[in-house]
Amino acid sequence: MSEKARKLFDALDLNSDGVLTRDEVISALRAKGPTLAAAGDLPFWGLGDPDASSALFDRANLDGDDVLTFEEFEREVDRRFGW
């Protein structure tokens, strides 16, 4: 398990229910992204507009159920961010 992926997932899981919705990813990256990047928990180039955040969500949501489990999220951010 990637510790960086876990830390980022937990930061984005605004309601702490163990899954991420598209709205959570977009809202959390907008609100917390710069702070996470400054702390080294998110690459600065990983910050994006809502369209980029939505695209990241779509690439991770392989089963199409409109929520991301940690495993789906981890697979995508480890691949994308090189963790």
Tens of pLDDT, residues 3-48? 999 999 999 999 999 999 999 999 999 899 999 999 988 888 777 7
| 68: helix, strand or coil | strand
Q: Label each residue of 7-43 as H, E or C.
A: HHHHHHCCCCCCCECHHHHHHHHHHHHHHHHHCCCCC
Query: Which range of residues forms the domain containing residue 27?
Result: 3-81
What pTM value is reported for the model? 0.89
User: What is the pLDDT, as a whole number, of residue 1?
Assistant: 63
> How many domains are there within the chain?
1
Rounded to an integer, the average pLDDT of 59-80 is 95
CATH number assigned to the domain comprising residue 36: 1.10.238.10
